[in-house]
Structure 1
Amino acid sequence: MVKNAPLFSIDLVVLNEKREMLVGLRKNEPASGFWFVPGGRMYKGETIVEAFRRITEAELGNSFEREHFIMLGLYDHFYENSCFDESVSTHYINAPHLMLVDSTKLKLPLIQHDDYRWVPIEAVEADRTIHCFSKVFLSDLLSHLN
């Protein structure tokens, strides 16, 4: 499937009380070793509402309802490799969601990420350790915050 069709994913653009963005140090390909916003793939037969609940539970340690957050748009993510095979490219259609949350409500698991950090929004663009696909939505993010 990864070889022949795009995958649909949801990224979680989590901002804390100080309006800092959460990024995790990715363990898995694609983008292993980069700081990346949490997120995950949607499964066949799963609604976007169900996927959002599952992904927030898995990535943030707490289930959240999609209706309380803002989708920032749709973006293409093209990678030369995949989590299944270094020689198979990956195409994601990604729907990042802006989440303003109380950081004490998060129980960040170390399954997909080795570590987490909060980055001031103003510093994200210039930070070369943050993957470019965790920056593509910045103009949409800023328009929702202003």
Structure 2
Amino acid sequence: LEAAFERLTMAELGLRLPITAGQFYGVWQHFYDDNFSGTDFTTHYVVLGFRFRVAEEDLILPDEQHDDYRWLTPYALL
């Protein structure tokens, strides 16, 4: 789990973080009618969410999976 956390924070944030930097936030499930190889069977993802604080200037946000990052205030989100 620790190695996966570091690998994913590097891939998603451009910043390798140890799992101890995060606060466990919960478990989420995502269900899809298809999968990466076609529509022969469905996909079920189990996601372990973590929260952590980082300085924006420390991030190197990659654009391979996401390309429209935005920082919003809590008020703007509601």
TM over 0.5: yes
- Greater share of strand residues, 1 or 2? 1
Identity percentage of aligned residues = 35
Higher relative contact order (CA 8 A, sep 6+): 1
CA shift digits 1:31-89 (9 cap, x unpaired): xxxxxxxxxxxxxxxxx10000000111111100111211111122112233332x142
Unaligned residue ranges in structure 1 (runs of 5+): 1-47, 127-146
* 4+ aligned runs moved over 2 Å, structure 1: 81-85, 119-124
Q: Give the count of matched residue pairs.
A: 77
| Structure 2 counterpart of 1:98 | 51
Alignment of 1:36-51 (within 5 A): 48-51=1-4
Q: What is the TM-score when the length of structure 1 is the normalising length? A: 0.47
RMSD, aligned CA: 1.7
Query: TM-score when scaled to structure 2?
Result: 0.82
Alpha-carbon distance in structure 1 between the residues aligned to 2:32 and 2:72: 24
Larger Rg: 2
From 97, 114, 117, the equivalent of 2:67 is: 114
